[in-house]
């Protein structure tokens, strides 16, 4: 099991979760953040600090955002488990699900 970042993160990328993650497993794409499932230790520290409530325990992901589980997993198909997001910086890509979305309003702006 792992945590999943879903639609509310798209075009927001607040990064409070990145600061809270003790294992540095939350990576930044162009339009949203992604949790590397093999590096996540399921501590849950990221979930309560997300200001847009975009992070869910895998089994608790709302049905309308269920495809974001695969988006988080598939994002790492060519990256594998890099062993820490901080050294990677922004990764110049997003999952096709995210790329296909129109620009999302930022509720924090």
Q: Domain span at residue 50?
A: 3-84
| CATH number (domain holding residue 53) | 3.30.70.20
How much is the mean pLDDT over the chain? Answer: 96
Query: CA 35 to CA 58: how far, in whole Å?
Result: 11
> Model confidence over 62-96: pLDDT tens digits?
999 999 999 999 999 999 999 999 999 999 999 99
Inside any domain, residue 52: yes
Tokens of 69: 């589980």
pLDDT band at 1 (very low <50, low <70, confident <90, very high): low
Q: Are 7 and 68 in contact (CB under 8 A)?
A: yes
Query: CA 45 to CA 16: how far, in whole Å?
Result: 10
Question: What is the end-to-end Cα distance of the chain in Å, rounded?
Answer: 32
- Among positive and negative, which fits the CA dihedral 17, 2, 101, 8? negative
């Amino acid at each position: 099991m792992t945590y999943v970042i879903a639609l509310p993160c798209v075009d927001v990328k607040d990064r409070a979760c990145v600061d809270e993650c003790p294992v540095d497993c939350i990576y930044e794409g162009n339009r949203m953040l992604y949790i590397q499932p093999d590096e996540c230790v399921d501590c849950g520290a990221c979930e309560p600090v997300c200001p847009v409530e975009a992070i869910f325990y895998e089994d608790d992901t709302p049905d309308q955002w269920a495809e974001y589980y695969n988006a988080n997993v598939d994002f790492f198909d060519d990256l594998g488990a890099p062993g820490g997001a901080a050294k990677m910086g922004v990764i110049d890509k997003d999952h096709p699900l995210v790329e296909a979305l129109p620009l999302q309003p930022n509720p924090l702006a």
